[in-house]
């Protein structure tokens, strides 16, 4: 069971998330409607994970995202899952770019693309466990934006597909299942990707962040 704080200004969606998480066996210790209430709830009783939108009152810019980043500064390693309707990559890159010193427990999912409750709960579990989970559409946009970069142009279409799934946080076994290939083939593709992008093939979450850092052009 996870203890969770939800920050979502849409009342019906907030209530729906509370119901969904409760049915999933978790405990929602606070469900709030703005960034200030989010910060106060986490500071009062640190949860196992935070679920927040990007844009929140009063100005509906990036209050939720800024609150999440500030909370991760004050509460080292706090798992944060951003659940938003905005595919805009500046939000995703800000979240991931601020993760350099704290690579664990980050997620960025699009509300419109969460089509299965079990998948959502699994993503939350993975974020709480310290993994990185990024919506495939966000990864595809990042790849398109960086498509003119020389290192990425070295990759074959299959390697770009593997890179996108790697950035979602999938391990080799999951990659093999998704692409219907052997794990040996996945290992070979990953090795080629790391070689072509001059990346150290570190296993786990640091590998994901290394890939995303490269996609940001760092």
Which domains, ranges and CATH numbers included, belong to the chain?
Answer: 3-134 (3.40.50.2300), 139-215 (1.10.10.10)
Instruction: State the pLDDT at residue 178.
Output: 92
Of 123-132, 178-187, 190-199, the poorest mean pLDDT is in 190-199
- For position 30, what pLDDT does the model report? 97
Q: If pLDDT is split at 50, 70 and 90, which confidence band does 199 have?
A: low
- C-alpha pair distances (Å), 184 with each of 99, 103, 173, 175, 189: 30, 27, 10, 11, 9
Q: What is the reported pTM? A: 0.76
Higher local confidence (pLDDT), 95 or 25: 25
Higher pLDDT, 87 or 66: 66
Q: What are phi and psi of 109, to 5 degrees?
A: -120, 150
> For 42-69, what is each residue's pLDDT tens digit?
999 999 999 999 888 888 888 888 888 8
pLDDT at 6: 97
Share of the chain above pLDDT 70, in %: 76
Q: Does 214 have pLDDT greater than 90?
A: no
Mean pLDDT of 174-196: 88
pLDDT, one tens digit per residue, over 128-152 is 998 888 887 777 776 666 555 566 6
* Distance of alpha carbon 160 from alpha carbon 214, whole angstroms: 13
Q: DSSP 3-state assignment of 52?
A: strand
pLDDT of residue 212: 62
Helix (H) or strand (E) holding 7: strand 3-7
Q: Which percentage of the chain shows pLDDT scores above 90? A: 37
pLDDT at 149: 52
Q: How large is the average pLDDT for residues 23-46?
A: 95
Give the angle 16-21-23 at the CA atoms, nearest 5°.
95
Q: What angle do CA 129, 193, 128 make, to 5 degrees?
A: 5
**Who wins on pLDDT, 102 or 119?**
119
């Amino acid at each position: 069971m996870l203890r969770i704080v939800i920050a979502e200004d849409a009342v019906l969606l907030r209530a729906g998330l509370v119901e969904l998480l409760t049915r999933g066996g978790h405990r929602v210790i606070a469900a709030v409607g703005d960034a200030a209430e989010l910060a106060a709830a986490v500071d009062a009783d640190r949860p196992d994970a935070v679920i927040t939108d990007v844009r929140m009152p009063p100005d509906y810019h990036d209050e939720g995202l800024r609150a999440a980043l500030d909370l991760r500064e004050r509460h080292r390693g706090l798992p944060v899952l951003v659940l938003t309707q905005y595919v805009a990559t500046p939000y995703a890159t800000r979240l991931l770019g601020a993760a350099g010193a704290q690579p664990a427990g980050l997620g960025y999912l699009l509300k419109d693309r969460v089509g299965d409750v079990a998948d959502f709960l699994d993503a939350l579990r993975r974020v709480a466990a310290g993994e990185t989970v990024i919506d495939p559409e966000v990864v595809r946009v990042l790849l398109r934006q960086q498509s003119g970069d020389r290192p990425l142009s070295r990759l074959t279409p299959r390697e770009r597909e593997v890179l996108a799934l790697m950035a979602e946080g999938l391990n080799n076994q999951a990659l093999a299942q998704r692409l219907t290939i052997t794990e040996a083939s996945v290992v070979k593709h990953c090795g080629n990707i790391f070689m072509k992008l001059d990346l150290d093939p570190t296993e786990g979450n640091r590998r994901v962040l290394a890939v995303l850092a490269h996609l940001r052009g760092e």
